[in-house]
Amino acid sequence: MKYMMFVCTDPEPDTDTRDEPDIDVWVAENDAAGRRVQGMVLAPESAATTVRVRDGRLLISDGPFAETREVIVGFDLLECADLDEAIEVARTHPMARRGRIEIRPLADFEQ
């Protein structure tokens, strides 16, 4: 099953920096195991453009749509047997300690 893993900042990171995981090791391990299909770091939120259409009019604004202190900084597309495996993959990501991880299954419209 495929899961989208959104990697986000968090204003309250873990203060325990002992044994902090290395992102390069995390990527290599999950790539080798076939759990990480693709992933990228995103450009800063200042590079974001929000596009909306309202009453037939195109509305474009600079920056992200949501005004929050948490920002999506990257993503990984995962291939996991189930949600438990996806949670375990997310748990070991460095940003699970410094930020937060959101996991969402991809919708399966063929079922």
Q: What is the pLDDT of residues 59-99, one digit of tens each?
A: 998 876 566 677 889 999 999 999 999 999 999 999 999 89
pLDDT category, 105, cuts 50, 70, 90?
Answer: very high
Helix (H) or strand (E) holding 78: strand 72-79
The per-residue pLDDT for 19 is 84
CA distance 75 to 8: 9
The per-residue pLDDT for 21 is 83
Residue 86: phi and psi, rounded to 5, are: -65, -40
8 Å CB contact between 77 and 13: no
The per-residue pLDDT for 15 is 87
The per-residue pLDDT for 45 is 85
List helix spans (H) across 1-75: 23-32
